[in-house]
Amino acid sequence: MSKKAISKNSVTKIMRVLHRDIGFLMIGLTIVYCVSGIVLVYRDTDVFIIDKHYSENIGKNRRPHELGSALKLRRLHVLKVSNDSIYFNYGSYCRSSGEANYTIKTYPDIVWTINSFHKIKSRYMSHWLAVVYGVLLLFLAISSLWMYKPSSKKFKRGLVLTAIGLVIAAIPLFIE
């Protein structure tokens, strides 16, 4: 499309300028969301997971059924109880000293932070970042239709590619 064909304040000109500027703005956010999405795809595996060792004093003479809540560990299962120690699936607890030593599999801190972008809940103020990001991505998708005249081959090709993208996005709905 020639520059003469686009008037100074036409919708096409405005959309192209906004599309370009918002597109550049979105590059950094998109990189973070892409990394987060890739990590979350593998959350059911041990990829990106590290072992983190903890040693903390939770008080003396705890009972076996109290360990999970005292250590804030879900899925804690007591395996063995001896005179002075309680052994559980993550480690052990010494009744006389109150010391618990355990190891959990977790993401490194930076990965937890990045993944929080995908897991933001509406009760947090930071959820607006995710909403704005989604709206801007939607704008970029729709504004791309103004890059070419509707009668051009490139526009028609863009519509075909858009339809293919929608079909690809729908495939998982029918596979699982």
Tens digits of residue pLDDT in 26-85: 888 888 888 888 888 888 898 889 999 999 999 999 999 999 999 999 999 999 999 999
- Best-predicted range by mean pLDDT among 1-5, 87-91, 135-139, 143-147? 87-91
Cα separation, 31 vs 39, whole angstroms = 12
Percent of the chain's residues with pLDDT above 90: 43
- DSSP output for 27-43: HHHHHHHHHHHHHHHTT
Strands (E), the chain: 50-57, 78-81, 85-88, 91-94, 99-106
Q: How high is the pLDDT of residue 112?
A: 86
pLDDT at residue 19 is higher than 60: yes
CA 73 to chain centre: 22
Domain ranges of the chain: 11-45+110-171, 50-106
Q: Which two tokens stand for residue 137?
A: 């991505």
